[in-house]
């Protein structure tokens, strides 16, 4: 009898400890826009009128502003040959641009891309976004760091977890509806992360949008929240298209309004 009780208890404990899979969300494809095929997209931001994008690789890295992603940039800044552009964020008139391995955060005026200064950090820089108060950074691991926008000092660290998956290789970031959305390097999924707990609240698979291309490194990367349409623009490195998608749930809804607004009331060492 004691053995039976022990076995039952073990089974119950195992069931209690079983990890719930992260929910998979479908999406509606609302629009797509053509763009140049030479964009090694690392960071993407849209304010409803203008686009900012960073494109990586040594000797080819740039930061650009567009009014039409299919046309020539309104302005562009080329980085020095020994700097590899990474993720970007726009906050209070300033644009923050990470570099991959230089430990250098470059600051620009968001309106004209004039250089404002430099901050430094330890380790690699991958993705960057903001919640309107802090900057949120990824470094290719399963950790996010929350940073002071003036000094870039770390204020908080957050480990991403959920289900039985390994959430390392977090890449480009976007903040929408109180969640941090992240690309995963060499993965077709984007995930929604609770910024308080680190729990992955949902995932969306972009595999159906992945282009059939022989170009190495053609992976999903780039998320920009379109507030007016309550949807996400997504793309990838060397992708010829930007896609506007509306995930099901996670703050989005079929009528285009945010949840709660209805009724009148968002590493490896090879080049990444």
Looking at the structure of the chain, the number of domains it has is: 1
Contact between 250 and 240 (Cβ < 8 Å)? no
Helix, strand and coil content of the chain, in percent to the nearest 5, comes to 5, 45, 50
Give a yes or no: residue 225 inside a domain: yes
Per-residue pLDDT of the chain (272 residues; tens, 9 = 90+): 455 444 444 444 444 445 789 999 999 999 999 999 899 999 999 999 999 999 999 999 999 999 999 999 999 999 999 999 999 999 999 999 999 999 999 999 999 999 999 999 999 999 999 999 999 999 999 999 999 999 999 999 999 999 888 999 999 999 999 999 999 999 999 999 999 999 999 999 999 999 987 777 899 999 999 999 999 999 999 999 999 999 999 999 766 565 544 333 333 334 55
pLDDT for the residue numbered 264? 33
How many whole angstroms separate alpha carbon 120 and alpha carbon 116? 14
Give a yes or no: residue 2 inside a domain: no
Which range of residues forms the domain containing residue 71? Answer: 24-247
Give a yes or no: residue 153 inside a domain: yes
CATH number at residue 181: 2.130.10.10
pTM for the whole structure: 0.88
């Amino acid at each position: 009898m004691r053995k039976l009780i022990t076995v039952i208890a073990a089974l119950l404990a195992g069931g209690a400890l079983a990890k719930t899979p992260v929910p998979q969300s479908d999406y509606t494809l609302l629009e797509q826009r053509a763009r140049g095929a030479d964009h090694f997209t690392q960071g993407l931001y849209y304010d409803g009128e203008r686009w900012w994008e960073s494109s990586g690789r040594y000797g080819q890295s740039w930061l650009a502003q567009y009014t039409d992603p299919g046309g020539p940039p309104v302005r562009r800044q080329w980085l020095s040959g020994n700097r590899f552009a990474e993720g970007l964020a726009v906050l209070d008139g300033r644009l923050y641009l990470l570099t991959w391995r230089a430990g250098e955060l470059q600051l620009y005026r968001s309106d004209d891309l004039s250089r404002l200064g430099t901050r430094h950090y330890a380790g690699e820089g991958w993705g960057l976004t903001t919640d309107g108060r802090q900057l949120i950074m990824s470094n290719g691991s399963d950790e996010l760091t929350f940073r002071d926008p003036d000094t870039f000092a770390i204020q908080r660290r957050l480990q991403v977890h959920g289900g039985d998956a390994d959430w390392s290789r977090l890449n480009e970031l976007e903040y929408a509806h109180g969640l941090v959305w992240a690309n995963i390097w060499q993965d077709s999924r984007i995930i929604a992360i609770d910024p308080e707990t680190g729990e992955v609240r949902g995932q969306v698979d972009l595999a159906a949008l992945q282009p059939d291309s022989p170009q190495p490194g053609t992976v999903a990367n780039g998320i920009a929240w379109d507030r007016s349409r309550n949807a996400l623009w997504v793309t990838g490195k060397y992708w010829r298209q930007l896609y506007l998608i509306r995930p099901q749930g996670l703050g989005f809804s079929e009528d285009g309004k945010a949840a709660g607004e209805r009724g009148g009331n968002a590493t490896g060492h090879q080049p990444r």
